[in-house]
Structure 1
Amino acid sequence: MCMTSLIERGQDEDQRVPLRRIFGLFGPYRWALTGLLGLIVVQAGLGVASPFFLRAILDDALPQRDTGLLSLLATGMIAASLGNGAMSVSTTGVANTIGQRVMNDLRIAVYGHLQRMSLAFFTRTRTGEVLSRVFNDVGGVDNVVNTTASSIAQNGITTLAIAVALFVMDWQLAILGLIVVPLFLLFTLRLGRTRRSLARGRQRRLARLTTMVEESLSVSGVLLSKTMGNERELRERFADESREISLLERQSALAGRWQMASRRMCLTCVPAIVYWLAGMAIAHGASPTTIGTVVAFTSMLNRLLAPATAMQSVGQNVSTAAALFGRIFEVLDLPVEIADRPGAGELVVRQGAVSLRNVSFKYEDSWTLRDIDLEVPAGSTTALVGATGSGKTTLAYLVARLYEPDEGRVLVDGTDIRDVTLRSLAGAVGLVSQETYLFHATVRENLRFAKPGATDEEIEQAARAAHIHDMLAGLPEGYDTVVGQRGYRFSGGEKQRMAIARILLRNPPILILDEATSALDNRTERSVQAELDRLAAQRTTITIAHRLSTVEHADQIVVLDAGRIVERGKHAELMALGGRYARLVRGEAV
């Protein structure tokens, strides 16, 4: 199964996640966990102290009418209760702090790993599915990470402390009272597989619902649905998915409720049985057990109900979270296709010459480029032309290492770009695409994204060079104007000029222009093209042409057909040749 289908569909089978891998998330906080364990031990000890005080009150203080001893024992019960409460608050605070740090680490790990995935991964994966993994899946384990680990330790130690105390009081009664615990745990384990299956189905449905919301409620999605008049159909699709999630939520909530109810009844009935058996034994003089011991024992046995019930919930939460952890680790286990090689150095651009040597690339099983040999001299402009699907954009993206060639090498000044860091390559190669992307932030923040340390003066200077400063300065809030989602507050030409300003601010020595004016009208295109020509001056430029009239003055025109270079040369040379390029120019279609 390829990595895309893995994250898109998830695994139908119930993936088993090794517990050591989940516990490994807590590894950096082992000393904090040790301190938490110490607090839990103290809390458990204080929790079992009160019944011993109660037994002494019933068997000694009251029969002897010893008010001093009674006051001392009562004070001990109060102090133990207060101490137990203080320890409970402390353990909750420490556990939550550790849990939130683990959650923060997990979110960063998932986001960071997805960020490292190649462009090809995102072209094949729905955005909603990615969002679901970051928010729904990671958010779904929040309760388990924050409370379950400490709850297991706290309730486990409390149960152990109570069990020991019960045997200290009366070992015969203890055997009777503790018979119910193994049965209790058995029922809990039986619920695990059902809850894991329901949780995985729920997360898959949530991923689809997130995708639907992300696509249909984006600006583009709303425009499409309103102009097509199909809002009703979208609402019905949303309602269907929502109903399925509600059904799964109901099944999850009801799973094992009868077993849970029966176990609670058993735990409640045990004290009554203890009273009856102990009372019968005392009444017939067959047991040395005192009334104080029976009352204290029953009181302590009732305390066993809370940690036992909590452990029941823990078992259910862990079963549910196991499915979510499986989906999270699916993401973290996705192979990173494009990454820095061990020992990768910094790219130092001396001149900016670009070379492709015997380069081939394929999507899945189909070759997109085959045997590409191309030299782009430093400071020159090379135009890539050809029909749609001929491989122009793919070739340009290989230079930026957005894709990795399956065969051959891409060189900058004779250095294989796979031998340098991705960060240094990104600093050397700038891209202006046909679709200008702007964040939902201010104009200033969008421009500064190219150079985080840029001053306001540098930003305005870049905007002036892109001939967009006057328009931006004339806005009511100037450069602090929020552009709106994807920049829909601005026209196509204005967004394109902001993209040019952003690249100018970054000032890369190698520039890729990916049909940067294809979406503009003729007048705007001429204006923006003039800015692009100025931007390309003194740089090594690779431009993907939409209108052939924009590349007539290129130093080199490369014609692609079905992933191969079929012609190359200057405009006049190719026109005189009368081949593929000449036919494209006459037809004005690329």
Structure 2
Amino acid sequence: MPAAPTRHRGWRLVLIAGDRLLLATFRQSPARAVATATVTLLGGAASFAVPAILATAVDDILRERTGSWLWLLAAIALDIGLLIGVLLLGNNWYTQVTAELRHRLFGQAVDLGVQARELPPSADLVSRLTTDCTAVGRLLPTVWSGVTDGLVGVAAVVALALIDWRLVLIFGVGVPTVALAARTFLAGTTVLTARYRNAQSLIAGLLLDALAGIRTIQASGTADREAERVLRPLAELDSTGRAWWSAQGRAGWQVALLVRLIQVAVLAVAGVGVSSGRITPGQLLATVAYTPLALGVLSQVGLLATVGSARASAARLADVLALSSRPKPVRRLGVADGRVELRGVRLGTVLDDINLVIPAGTTLAVVGPSGAGKTTLAWLIGGLAVPDEGEVLLDDLPLRELPRHDLAREVAYAFEKPALLGETVHDTIAFGLPGVTRAEVEQAARVAQADAFVRRLPEGYDTRIADVPLSGGEVQRIGLAALVARNARVVVLDDAMAGLDSATEALIVAALARIQLGRTTVVVAHREDTAASADLVAWISAGRLQGLAPHQQLLTDRRYRALFQPDPQATS
């Protein structure tokens, strides 16, 4: 997870980056922004016009005139119509900007790869994708509404001055106090909001870690210790939340009290004006209507809270979007032959100076002790991880220069614990393959030994994944079926059959051998028979390639034999 921005760059620099992101969202669709602003301003103008027309209508009635009521009804109808337009345009802007930000943030996470050390934990990333993107998406409609309220408020003050200059003097008393309270509130709550969300995300991340290892925690009897670890940031969350509400409370009661005093004073002066004849009854009604509009200038604490929250959210988004990611693809991959090469690849402390060529159509078994870097090597082949140094190539083209969809088309994965992303069984097997037919899905399931149990489900292939409990082996077989359906030139099996019984695994291996003939296959292997059946074996230990040869040739090294047949004389 990136360290808290306060530790590295200071909140001023972080907020500047966030403010730039906010400005970029305003500029991404100028037409929609202008339309939203125009309708909002027109709605404000209509709201301002209604009290003036109301005053004229009342005075006309007292003078036994009736024509002004038609104008009043027209103004009210226009005001309502424009209000509906403001709501529709504001919601459209919110959904578009929020979706765009989520797309960018998710794309950044994908581009950085699953092993990116710079990315925040998954819980924090989800918080940014949801809460922070939403806060930024809502900002522009809120700002336009606030600006319009301010302009209408100023116009209302002018209207009150035209009615009676004494009414305006009341406002001069409260403006400096409200402005000072608002400025202090905005400066404080922006930082507090970001601190609160960071602490919230940290707790969520620790909780997810604990849930992932719940069986180990239960078996070791360390539940109390884990609970203490997960809740350790709670003190920071509590103190920050209390500070935020305290700041809002201080600003809120000051502004609310001042607003009420001003309102009472204005109405009192207007009442005296009516009794003395300076103000007509219609103008009194206009004063009653204009006073809340004028006070809107002073009652913007809620708007300031929204702006502060959006700035903090934008800073958190900008923190992730600023991370260095894959360069934009500059080359296209045709129909791949399947030749894979790693040149001088190093990735953190996991892999070091890996030089490896997998000829097209070859089956390669990757073996080594636990923690040697086998899975990391498998991830590198399809671009799921990006090396710190060196190059990974597919058909002599660097992966970093290829579009993601080209890699996804030509390199397919199956994992020990696959994520079932489709809504139904059919959708899961066909995920990412819009043109695949039911017949092709069923054939892929037969190869993966999944067809029989899928047909026993309540709705067969149309059964919702969320509605049926699946065993670990059934999930693996659906994942293998999804791999078969992709029909890729390069197939990577990362412990994809580790949980299956020997008979089922033998059937799947035999079926895969038939359909994968001529395709490049990489298997993370733990069993000797898997290594023996491969064309080549990449033997990895301590992050380095110890050997690349057929299994029988490597068996001459007793250290290699010790991976499958422990030898007390084998040296590390």
TM-score of Structure 1 vs Structure 2, range by shorter chain: 0.7 to 0.9
* Structure 2 counterpart SS, 1:559: strand
SS at match of 1:374: strand
Structure 1 residue 405: deviation in Å? 3.3
State whether structure 2 residue 245 is matched by structure 1 residue 253.
Answer: yes
Q: Give CA deviations for 1:125-148 in whole Å, capped at 9, x if unaligned.
A: 532122221123223456545x41
Distance 1:582 1:94, change over 3 A: closer
Paired residue type of 1:188? A
Displacement of 1:459: 1.0
Alpha carbons 1:496, 1:528 under 8 Å: kept? no
Aligned to 2:488: 508
1:445 to 1:216, Cα distance in 2 relative to 1, 3 A: farther
Superposition pairs of residues 124-523 of structure 1, within 5 angstroms: 125-141=120-136, 143-145=138-140, 147-171=141-165, 173-212=167-206, 214-215=208-209, 223-224=215-216, 245=237, 248-270=240-262, 273=265, 295=284, 298-299=287-288, 302-308=291-297, 310-336=299-325, 338-341=326-329, 343-350=330-337, 352-357=338-343, 359-363=344-348, 366=349, 368-370=351-353, 372-439=354-421, 441-449=423-431, 451-484=433-466, 489-492=470-473, 494-523=474-503
2:22 maps to what in 1? 22
Q: Is the 8 A contact 1:166 1:300 kept in 2?
A: no
Among 90, 103, 106, the residue aligned to 2:85: 90
| C-alpha distance 103-391 of structure 1, shift in aligned 2 (>3 A) | closer
* Distance apart, 1:246 and its partner CA: 6.2
* Matches of 2:5 and 2:430, distance apart in 1: 33
Structure 1 residues 420, 83: closer, same or farther in 2, change over 3 A? Answer: closer
* 8 A contact 2:19–2:315 mirrored in 1: no
Tell me, what secondary structure is at the counterpart of 1:67? coil
Conservation of the 8 A alpha-carbon contact between 1:466 and 1:498: yes
Q: TM-score by structure 2 length?
A: 0.84
Cα distance change of structure 1 residues 368 and 198 upon mapping to structure 2, 3 Å threshold: same
1:316-363 superposed Cα distances (whole Å, 9 cap, x missing partner): 221232212211222222221x3443x22224324x333333x23121
- Equivalent of 1:109 in 79, 95, 104: 104
Q: Look up the equivalent residue of 1:158 and give its one-letter code.
A: V
Contact 1:347–1:425 (CA under 8 A) maintained in structure 2: no
CA contact (8 A) 1:267 1:305 kept: no
Larger radius of gyration: 1
> Equivalents in 1 of 2:127, 2:97: separation in Å?
19
The correspondence for 1:100, drawn from 95, 104, 108, is 95
CA–CA distance in structure 2, aligned partners of residues 272 and 113 of structure 1: 54
- Structure 1 Cα separation of the partners of residues 523 and 510 of structure 2: 14
* Aligned residue identity for 1:262: Q
How far residue 580 of structure 1 moved from its aligned partner, in angstroms, is 2.7
Compared CA separation, residues 452 and 74, structure 1 to 2 (3 A): closer
Q: Per the alignment, in what secondary structure is the counterpart of residue 584 of structure 1? A: coil
1:578 and 1:585, CA in 2 relative to 1: closer, same or farther beyond 3 A?
Answer: same
TM-score, normalised relative to structure 1 = 0.81
Give unmatched runs, 5+ long, in structure 1: none
Q: Bigger CA drift: 228-237 or 181-190?
A: 228-237
* Percentage identity across paired residues of the two chains: 25
Amino acid at match of 1:16: L
Determine helix, strand or coil for the equivalent of 1:489: coil
Distance 2:527 2:350 in 1: 26
- Provide structure 2 residue ranges, at least 5 long, that are not aligned to the other structure: none
Corresponding residue for 1:67? Answer: 64
